[in-house]
Structure 1
Amino acid sequence: MMTKTSTVEMSHVEWLEDRRKGIGGSDVGTILGLNKWKSPYQLWLEKTGQIELDESNSEPAYWGNVLEEVVAREFMERTGKKVRRRNQVFEHPLHPFLRANIDRDVVGENAILECKTANSFLAKEWDGDEIPMSYLCQIQHYMNVLNRECAYIAVLIGGQRFVWKKIERDQVLIDMITKRLVEFWEINVMGDIEPPIDGSDATADFLKNHYSEEGKEEVTLPSNYDDLVESKRQLKKTEKEIKDQIQKIDNQIKSELGKRDAVIGITPKFIISWKSQERVSLDRKKLEVKYPEVAKDSSIYKTSSFKKLAEKEIN
């Protein structure tokens, strides 16, 4: 039997803490590696209480919440369907740690509505029958938790284009998603086993921000880190070889365009351009000559610091 918890009386802090109790819809894309803003490693730290939960207080998240009601009302206007809020967290009957906090129920149907907003630069992700994979997996997860037959997704794109689509239940996809979510919760969270560190920008940014302070200790690392360093060196060597091959191809194309005094070359499949571009930058030497007092003012210079990872072989 599916259980549910009301969120009406929850404070924001209580709501955040409640998220630690299981895997919600917004976690699905992260665990599946579909979220470029957060990695499974960071999510694991959150769920195990090692770091504070991400409050998602960014501008897009804020306006997504503000415009949710607008999107829901427009969906009703365009489809003639009725929807209602469900201020509850639902739990899967077999795996109570699989949870869902849906935007709306569709009245008279065994269906839900998910409301979204999207940047205009992402409009192509919604062309035709397209739906971003992270949202598709999130909604299939909701249908699994609530045992729904179908779902609708409505999105306001760039504040001026409205799209809605129907999503049928895909049991094969649901089974694949559920298997991965159960593994993450039971092995990584409950078993307290750290997920593999991946090479995503999300993980790199998190580590840079989380460990921004300079370390104080000198430690001995196990021998497998020798293997990692050797692998890195081999990859960098391969990277250089690949870059050389890319530059060789670029040079061949530039040579042919140059011989023909061409700015554009057209092949059966591509349009290739080789055009001049300008970039404006400050000439510090000229500034020091022409405006020496301004050049001495340290407040006009921006200083940034970062921690550089480097290695050298022990002789």
Structure 2
Amino acid sequence: MPDSCAALKETHQPQVLVETAGLSEKEWLAYRRKGIGGSDVAALLGISPWRTARDLYYDKLNIAAVEDNENNWVALEMGHLLEPLVAKIFQHRTGYKIYQVKKMFQHPKYPWMLADVDYFVELPDGTTAILEIKTTNYNAKDHWWLDGEETVPVYYETQGRHYMAVMDVDRCFFCCLYGNNEEETIIREIRRDEAYEDEMIFLEQHFWENHVLAKTPPPYTEDGDLVIESVRRHTGPADKDAPVVTFDYSLTAKLMRYLQLQEEKKRAEKDSKEIDADMQRLKGALIAEMGKSCKAICQQDGVNYTVTYNPVRKPNIDKDNLIRLKLEHPDIYEQYVTISEFRRFSVKADTKAA
């Protein structure tokens, strides 16, 4: 199946980890946790718009599955159901023959590199390519262009390059459906890149050996919103009885920078997305350290700083109806009402000497 790749590096034959045709979802997930798959690469590189490297780490240790997100299950299910249709569109538009191989492959030299490929493409010159199927919507289709040029979103590009490395093939196609007819599909192609691949493998190996196998969580380096959501998902609700956290020198420096940006934002003549993003990134780092705790302290230049991250809980239904329900049907209230929670972040400075 693999193409000749003499110009890149020595060729290899991918090994079969398991036949996937008869696997249950639970069994399939268990095999996927034996290594790094193509869809994992963007997260471990810190460029995924959906999950952090810490989320991936928890998934590989079977602490929390990355798919356990009730907010995106419809999009995931739609993508799965439309996959055969999008593949058929690709075949019709290109004239290339496509086929599936119901196996999970692994790299013979790097056995933690896994590949469960959507489709393979039989090219006219007798070589093989990979086909990855994607679905999106009208609002997100612009991600497939960059400065007016056709491109593959970087979080999908990493997936294709991972698969090319495992399968030892030189070409990977993407077919993305964003509408409801054949013309509303995007077809892209990427070619193998030796320098990119070497660096990618190095970073994957570092993640696998120094975090997953060592059971050491990777640091949060992603955008603030993504980090805050990850912390919320993995630490659970706030605990007002949790010990107060003391920030070390590094985190104190981040807090000082956060306060500096806060002042810059007040003086800015117009909203700055760059300042907001930097503040949110710093805030995410501080919140990650706090975990369940609602309070953190530190000192800088004789000033005591207190950071609070307190829970704010409120019902998910209209307040008047909630009160009426509680009065008229207390048993139903207790059984069915759920309480949502968000947390309010604030910083207080005390100039009194410590």
Give, in whole Å, the separation in 2 of the partners of 1:14 and 1:208.
28
User: 1-side partners of 2:245 and 2:144: how far apart?
Assistant: 48
Q: Which residue of 1 aligns with 2:25?
A: 12
In 2 relative to 1, CA 84–307 (structure 1 residues): closer, same or farther, beyond 3 Å? same
Once the two structures are superposed, the pairs formed by residues 1-315 of structure 1 within 5 Å of their partners are: 1-4=13-16, 5-55=18-68, 58-107=73-122, 108-127=126-145, 128-160=149-181, 161-200=184-223, 201-215=225-239, 217-219=241-243, 221=245, 224=248, 227-229=250-252, 231-247=254-270, 297-298=321-322, 304-310=340-346, 315=354
Provide the C-alpha distance between the structure 2 equivalents of 1:129 and 1:307, rounded to a whole number of angstroms.
41
More helix by share: 1
CA shift, 1:310, in A, is 5.0
Cα distance in 1 between the residues matched to 2:175 and 2:247: 52
- The structure that is strand-richer by fraction is 2
Shift of 1:169: 1.1
CA 1:186–1:74 in 2, change beyond 3 Å: closer, same or farther?
Answer: same
Q: Which one has the largest radius of gyration?
A: 1
Distance 2:127 2:90 in 1: 15
Greater Cα shift, 232-241 or 5-14:
232-241
Change (3 A) 1:309 1:173: same
Structure 2 residue matching 1:305: 3-state secondary structure? strand
Q: Separation in 2 of the partners of 1:227 and 1:120?
A: 43
State how far apart, in whole Å, the 1-side matches of 2:243 and 2:340 are: 27
CA-atom RMSD in angstroms: 2.8
In the alignment, the residues of structure 2 paired with residue 72 and residue 215 of structure 1 have an alpha-carbon distance, to the nearest angstrom, of 49
Please tell me the residue identity of whatever aligns with 2:230.
Answer: F
Q: Give the unaligned 5+ runs of structure 2.
A: 1-12, 273-317, 326-337
Q: Deviations over 1:246-298 (max 9, x none)?
A: 3499xxxxxxxxxxxxxxxxxxxxxxxxxxxxxxxxxxxxxxxxxxxx99554
Structure 1 segments unaligned to the other structure (5+ residues):
250-293
- Aligned with 2:190: secondary structure? strand
Please state how far the C-alpha of 1:80 moved relative to its aligned partner: 1.0
Distance 1:16 1:88 in 2: 13
Q: Which amino acid aligns with 1:68?
A: E
Contact between 1:149 and 1:169, CA under 8 Å: does it hold in 2? yes
> Does the aligned pair in 1 maintain the 2:46–2:221 contact within 8 Å?
no
Residues 212 and 194 of structure 1: CA distance in aligned 2, closer, same or farther (over 3 Å)? closer
Provide Cα deviations, 1:201-234, integer angstroms capped at 9, x if missing partner. Answer: 222112123333342644365662x652453144
TM-score (norm 2): 0.69
Whether the aligned pair in 2 keeps the contact of 1:212 and 1:307 (CA below 8 Å) is no
Counterpart-to-counterpart distance in 2, 1:88 and 1:162: 27
Residues 297/217 of structure 1: CA separation in 2 closer, same or farther (3 Å cut): closer
How many residues align? The count is 270
CA distance in 2, matches of 1:247, 1:76: 50
CA distance in 1 between counterparts of 2:61 and 2:131 reads 31
Q: Per-residue CA shift, 1:37-74, capped at 9, x if unaligned?
A: 10001111111232245256611111111111111111
* Alpha-carbon distance in structure 1 between the residues aligned to 2:271 and 2:178: 41
